Amino acid sequence: MKKFLLLQGGLIFTLLTGHAQSLPPYQPTRAEVLERYKKALYLDSIAPRSIFKASVRPHWSTDGHSFWYRNIGPDSAKEFVQVDLQKGTRTILAQQPKDSGIWRTNFHRQEDSRWGDFSTDSTSPDGKWVAYIKNGNVYARPVGGGEAVAFTTDGDTTKPYGGLAWSPDSKYVVGYHINPVEDTPVYYVLSSVKGTTRGQLKSHPYKQPGDPFTTYEMFLFTLSDKKAHKVNTPLIDFFAAPALHWRWHDSRYFTFERVERGHQRFRIFEVDAQTAQTRTVVDEQTNTFIYESRLFTHYLPETNELIMSSEKDGWQHLYLVDLLTGKQKKEITSGEWIVRGVDSIDAKKREIWFSASGMNPGEDPYYIHYYRIGLDGNHLVSLTPEKANHIVTFSPDRKYYLDAASEIDVPTVTTLRRTTDGQKVLTVETADASRYLAAGLRFPEPFHAKGRDGITDIWGVVVRPANFDSTKSYPVVENIYAGPQDAFVPKDFTSRYGEMQSIAQLGFIVVQIDGMGTANRSKAFHDVCWKNLADAGFPDRILWIKALAARYPYVDATRVGLYGTSAGGQNALGGLLFHPEFYTAAVASCGCHDNRIDKQWWNEQWMGYPVGKHYDEQSNVTNAGKLRGALLLMVGEADNNVPPESTYRVADALIKSGKVFEFLPLPGMDHTDGGPYGRMERRDFFVRHLLGVEPPLRNSNELISMKN
C-alpha cells in the first residue's frame, strides 16, 4: 500500500515505491492562451519602464573633483545629480518632470593589437631618410636630397614588398615580401529591393575554414651596407604582419609574436637586426587550442620584461617573463580561478589591475570581481569583495571608482569607493524595482546542478511566467547559445528582462545554461568544445534541466524545446538531431549549420586546422536525415555573418530525406533572430508544439489589437 508522501527536493516521493508522482501537465484552453498573449504584450510594454536607478553613467569633471549623471524615473521624469568625490556628498542639481529628449554619449576604447598595419612611406626617427615602396620594391632616399637606395628588385604589383617599419636608431627598416591572397566571395540575392523588378545579386569577400592567407616573408633592410637580408624565421602565413617591439636603448633586437594556424602554438621570436638571426623567447604549445583572442601580452621595455596570460596550469593566469632569457620570473596570479581581463598596468609601482572570476568560494564562479596585485605576485587587494557581479568604472585619475554590484535577482547598488584601499565613500544609487514587482513580474532565478562528470557545477537561470499554477507542470524552453568564445548566461541585474521573459509569459519555464565547452571556467571545462562543437554542452544541459525538474515539480522535463541564433541556431537544430529523446521542438535562426561554410577565424579556433572529417561528421547538413521533432528554420537572405546557404543546405538535405519542417526566409534581413516578425513566429511555434494549442489567427480579427 502506498503511504507516507513527503516533499523531498521538490519531488513527491512514495516511500514504499521510491517513484516520483508527477504533477498534471499545464494544458491551457485556447481562450486561456489568447489571454496570455494579451497579458504578455502588456508586460512587454511596461517592463522596460518599470525599473529605475539601475545604471549610473558618470560624466567626470575636468578638475577630477566630481562627476554628474542623470536618472530617468517614472513617466520619463529626469533628475541630474552631482557627486563630490572628496566630500562624499550627493546633490540633486535639477529635476525635470517631463521628457525633454534623449542624450547620447559614445564611448570608444582604443585597444592595442599584436597585428600591425604599417604605412609603407615613412620617415626615419632621426629625420634623415624616407623609406618607401615603388613598383612593389623597397627604396630609401635621403630627406635632404640625393640618390635613392634600391633594396630590392624582385618585387612587383602581384607580389610586392611592404609593411615597412623603422628601428628606433634609424639603422634598419623591417619589411615583408608579400604574397597577397584575395578572399573568395560569397553571394546572396536581395529579392525585394524597392524600385526594382529583379533580384539584386550581392557579394562580399569571405574566408572559410581551410582558405589560404596572405603570406609575409620578413626582411631587414640595412642602411650601412644598403642590402636586404632575409630574416631567419618561418614564413608568416596566418594573420597579418606582426607588431614589432624593440629592445629598450638597444635597437639591435626586436621581438614579434606568431600564432600558428590551428591555434595550438604561440611563439615570441627575438630578431638580431645585425645578423638577421632569430631565437625563440616564448613557446606555448597545447594539445587542444590556445584562445588567441584572449591571449594577453604587455611589454615592459625599460626592464626587458613581458606580462602575458596563459592557461598552462589549467586556469587563465598572468605571468612575468624575462625577455632577455625567455624564462618565467613569476606566476603573478594563481589558483583555481581565472583572470577575465587586465584593466591597467603601472610599471613604476609594478602593479597590475585586473578583473577575475571564481576566486570567491560560495558564489557563482562567473561573477566578476576587480583586484590589483604586485608583479611579484604579492599584495593582492580586492576592490569589490561583496558577493555580486561587479561592473567598475574608474575616475580619469584612478583615485576613485564606481562599483555597480548586482545579481540577476538582486537589484543594483552603485557605490563610490577609493582605489587606495577600496573603502566605500558613498552609496550613489540603489535600483528601484517596486513597479516591476507590482506588475506581477518575477526576477529570473539562478540555478546550478552537477554536470556530466558529477563534480562540476553547471550554472544557468530560470525564468517563470508572471503568474503560474505551481500545481501544474509547464513545458521548458531553452534559450541556447553554446559558442565557445564566451559564457552567455546573464549575471547582472540589468539583464533581467527580455525575450526569455516574453516567451515565459505564454506558459513556459524558460532557461539559459552555460554547459561545458563554453569559456570563463577552467581550461578542461573549455576544452570540451575542441573539434567537438556538436557536443554544445548538451549532456550538461540535459542533466541541469532534469535537476531543475527534480527541484521544482512544476518543471516538465518531458516537454522541452529550444531556440537560438547563429551558433545558437546550429545548437538548436543540433538538439533535435543528436538528442531527440529529450528535445522535441526547435527554432533555429541563421544557424552556422556546417562549420565548413561559416567564417574561418571562428571555426578553425574551435574545430582546428586542417579541415578534417570531424567537420563533416558534426555538420547539421550531414546529419539532417536524423531529424525528429518539430523544426522551424529562419534565415535572413542578406546575412553577412553566416552565409545564408548554410541554412538552405540544411533545408535541401531535409527535403531530400523526406523530413517535414517549417521554413521562414526573411527578405532583406541580415544576421538576425528573426526580428519582430520572427519572434512572433517563434512564440506561436512553441505554443503550437509544446502547449498543443493554436496561437492567435493573425490574419483574422482575432486579437487584432495585438502588436508584435
At 105 the pLDDT is 28
Strands (E), 167-214: 172-179, 185-190, 200-205
Q: How far apart are CA 673 and CA 500, in angstroms?
A: 13
Task: Using alpha carbons, select from 294, 285, 297 the residue that is nearest to residue 316.
Answer: 294
At 3 the pLDDT is 35
Cell (9 digits) for 271: 630578431
Q: How far apart are CA 567 and CA 584, in angstroms?
A: 19
At 468 the pLDDT is 86
| Peptide bond just before 475 cis, omega within 30 deg | no
At 618 the pLDDT is 98
At 108 the pLDDT is 32
CB within 8 Å of 240: residues ≥ 6 apart: 115, 116, 117, 214, 216
The bridge status of strand 89-96 relative to strand 78-84 is antiparallel
First to last CA, the chain: 53
Q: How far apart are CA 592 and CA 613, in angstroms?
A: 17
Determine if the pTM surpasses 0.85.
yes
Tell me which residues of the chain have a pLDDT lower than 50: 1-20, 99, 101-112, 117-118, 708
431, 432, 436, 439 alpha-carbon torsion, rounded to 10°: 170
User: What pLDDT digit, counting tens, does each position of 52-106 carry?
Assistant: 999 999 999 999 999 999 999 888 889 999 999 999 999 999 887 654 743 332 2
What is the 8-class DSSP label of residue 148?
P
C-alpha 264: how far from its chain's center?
A: 21
Cell (9 digits) for 467: 503568474
Q: Please give the backbone phi and psi of residue 117, each rounded to the nearest 5 degrees, phi first.
A: -105, 110
CA-based radius of gyration for the chain: 29
From residue 10, alpha-carbon distances to 457, 474, 554 in Å are 19, 15, 9
Cα maximum dimension of the chain: 108
The bridge status of strand 172-179 relative to strand 185-190 is unpaired
326, 332, 336, 337 alpha-carbon torsion, rounded to 10°: -110
CB 267 within 8 A of CB 290: no
At 706 the pLDDT is 56
- CA 138-150-221 angle, to 5 degrees, is 60
What is the 8-class DSSP label of residue 243?
P
At 112 the pLDDT is 46
At 114 the pLDDT is 63
Task: Using alpha carbons, select from 598, 668, 662 the residue that is nearest to residue 637.
Answer: 668
Q: Please give the backbone phi and psi of residue 602, each rounded to the nearest 5 degrees, phi first.
A: -75, -45
At 15 the pLDDT is 36
The full length of the chain comes to: 708
Task: Using alpha carbons, select from 289, 286, 327 the residue that is nearest to residue 308.
Answer: 327
Task: Using alpha carbons, select from 390, 511, 509 the residue that is nearest to residue 458.
Answer: 511
Task: Using alpha carbons, select from 441, 568, 587 the residue that is nearest to residue 501.
Answer: 441
User: What pLDDT digit, counting tens, does each position of 337-392 carry?
Assistant: 999 999 999 999 999 999 999 999 999 999 999 999 999 999 999 999 999 999 99
Q: How far apart are CA 267 and CA 114, in angstroms?
A: 12
- Tell me the β-bridge partners of 328: 321
At 298 the pLDDT is 97
Q: How far apart are CA 273 and CA 100, in angstroms?
A: 62
Q: How far apart are CA 644 and CA 649, in angstroms?
A: 9
From residue 600, alpha-carbon distances to 206, 236, 306, 592, 607 in Å are 8, 17, 30, 12, 10
In the chain the domains, ranked by start, together with CATH numbers, are 113-295 (2.140.10.30), 441-691 (3.40.50.1820)
What is the DSSP code string of 324-339? TT--EEEE-S-SSSEE
- Crossing angle (nearest 10°) for helices 567-578 and 538-551: 80
From residue 237, alpha-carbon distances to 14, 179, 210, 211, 595 in Å are 66, 10, 12, 11, 22
C-alpha 553: how far from its chain's center?
A: 34
What is the 8-class DSSP label of residue 241?
P
At 113 the pLDDT is 55
